[in-house]
Structure 1
């Protein structure tokens, strides 16, 4: 004998399946940031910010956080051009040693989903940086894991050219490994 499902249970099951399937499909465009604030309209014809019009500096370097030997800083960039542009994403970073040679640099992307950040002339964007001063296996001891960088070469998202900023924060251990966030707006 074939097991039977009560008619009410079958209807409930069908209704639940239909509701579940209405959640499938395309994702609607984001109209608010994660805090619920409406996003301003974005002009997709706006050019990308490039190395020729950006300048920057590393600020807010923190000391060692306990035993983890973690340091933090903010890379701030400013649009020095005469027109608005946008940044979207992470870009690239390269540590430069005191002799001008390139040092090992590895980026680990963390943070939120990138979204366009519009920079009018004089506006700023930032990227948060985290790194360790504890040597990885195979590296010499802390602060001597590699030479202290003199500068950081910054490649904007989707760019190929770089601009140089001074690096005031000492060695980046773990073979030059950074955790970096996407570029985001900076008030004022």
Structure 2
């Protein structure tokens, strides 16, 4: 029998080992037992964040954002309804007109600002509005700064019903809403009938200015 030289023998053994390794790998794949590469710490952190929907700590939104926004709204300088007291001054009759100063007074202990037109509405004892909302008299508003106890006024005017012949009603209350506010201030109305319908029934209001009236 021919003898195999040492180099040839080693080559045959190497080829046999390679074939055996390939066979074992194939069997492992078919059985589903092939071991996947071990995930790194970064891979695990990314997977956890994506699965839970949480924000990575490096991108977390500061927890006091909402609080800061609320504080800003409270300190923007605007007079709020809860800080004001409303009143109606004495009538100033004109040529067929009835004019009233509607006064807003700062009842708080801080300085605040009013800008623009107040809202106004006549209502009866049940709270039902009488007539349409007042029209705004054309003007260029200016900011009015009110220290504690300071006042601003706007003119509320309408044609005298006795002269205009408009349909009238007698309100129980005048609702006054400061600019940019939603809550109204209630003022007892004691000045008699106001126009609520028909010709010459419109009511107008002017911009706010410093003081308590003309």
TM-score computed with the length of structure 1 as normaliser: 0.63
Q: Which of residues 121, 144, 159 is equivalent to 1:94?
A: 121
Structure 2, unmatched stretches of 5+, are 1-74
Match of 2:101 in 1: 74
Q: Shift in Å at residue 52 of structure 1? A: 0.6
SS at match of 2:134: strand
Matched, 1:171 2:193: yes
Superposed displacement of residue 181, structure 1: 1.0
Alignment of 1:51-62 (within 5 A): 51-62=81-92
Q: Is the 8 A contact 1:125 1:185 kept in 2?
A: yes
SS in 2 for 1:157: coil
CA–CA distance in structure 1, aligned partners of residues 127 and 203 of structure 2 = 20
- The answer to whether the Cα contact below 8 Å between 2:122 and 2:171 also exists between their aligned partners in 1 is yes
2:168 aligns to what?
Answer: 146
Distance 1:135 1:187 in 2: 27
Structure 1, unaligned stretches of length 5 or more? 1-44
- The Cα offsets for residues 51-81 of structure 1, whole Å up to 9 and x where unpaired, read as 1111111112134x45x3x211101110001
Q: Secondary structure at the match of 1:98?
A: coil
Q: For residues 196 and 123 of structure 2, what CA distance do their matches in structure 1 show?
A: 16
Which structure: larger Rg? 2
Q: Shift of residue 113 of structure 1?
A: 0.5
Q: 1:117, CA displacement in angstroms?
A: 0.3
Q: SS where residue 108 of structure 2 aligns?
A: coil
Specify the SS of the correspondent of 1:106. Answer: coil
2:149 maps to what in 1?
122
Shift of 1:126: 0.5
Shift of 1:180: 1.2
* Structure 1 residue 173 displacement after superposition: 1.0
Which deviations, in whole Å up to 9, do the C-alpha atoms of 1:24-45 show, x marking residues without a partner? Answer: xxxxxxxxxxxxxxxxxxxxx7
RMSD over aligned Cα, in angstroms?
2.6
When you count helix as a share of all residues, which structure comes out higher? 2
Distance in 1 between residues matched to 2:117 and 2:212, nearest whole Å: 19
Number of residues of Structure 1 aligned to a counterpart in Structure 2: 136
- Following superposition, the deviation at residue 167 of structure 1 comes to 1.6
Partners of 2:169 and 2:195 within 8 A in 1: no
CA contact (8 A) 2:132 2:196 kept: no
